[in-house]
């Protein structure tokens, strides 16, 4: 039952977010060897001015041990 949560700045259309979620779900199901119906994907928008505190510091580096791909930027 994999669950993926994507955080991004606001501004993308619902169509783009749905396509992204569908692709991520399909890749996760294929790579982890599970049914597509077992995968859930959430997309949460975070305002640019809140990114550093809420995401960069609050999640990305707060749980660095679980991070498989590190960002190539700093805040």
Residue 71 domain-assigned (yes or no): no
pLDDT of residue 8: 98
d(CA 20, CA 14): 10
Tell me the mean pLDDT in the region 3-20. 98
pLDDT of residue 33: 98
Owner of token pair 């259309």: 13
Distance of CA 61 to the CA centre of its chain: 15
The catalytic site residues sit at 2
Residue 26 domain-assigned (yes or no): yes
How many domains does the chain divide into?
Answer: 1
Classified as helix, coil or strand, 41 is strand
Residue 61 domain-assigned (yes or no): yes
Give residues with Cβ within 8 angstroms of 29, minimum separation 6: 2, 35, 36, 38, 39
pLDDT of residue 44: 98
pLDDT of residue 6: 98
Residue 47 domain-assigned (yes or no): yes
pLDDT digits (tens, 9 = 90+) for 18-60: 999 999 999 999 999 999 999 999 999 999 999 999 999 999 9
Helix (H) or strand (E) run with residue 7 in it: strand 3-8
pTM of this structure: 0.91
Closest CA to 28 of 6, 59, 44, 55: 6
Which CATH number goes with the domain that contains 25?
Answer: 3.30.429.10
Domain membership of residue 16 as a residue range: 3-66
């Amino acid at each position: 039952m994999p669950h993926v949560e994507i955080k991004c700045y606001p501004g993308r259309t619902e169509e783009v977010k749905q396509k992204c979620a569908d692709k991520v779900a399909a890749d996760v199901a294929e790579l982890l060897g599970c049914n597509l119906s077992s995968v859930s994907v959430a997309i949460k928008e975070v305002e640019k001015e809140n990114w550093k505190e809420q995401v960069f510091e609050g999640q990305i580096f707060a749980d660095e041990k679980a991070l498989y791909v590190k960002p190539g930027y700093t805040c």
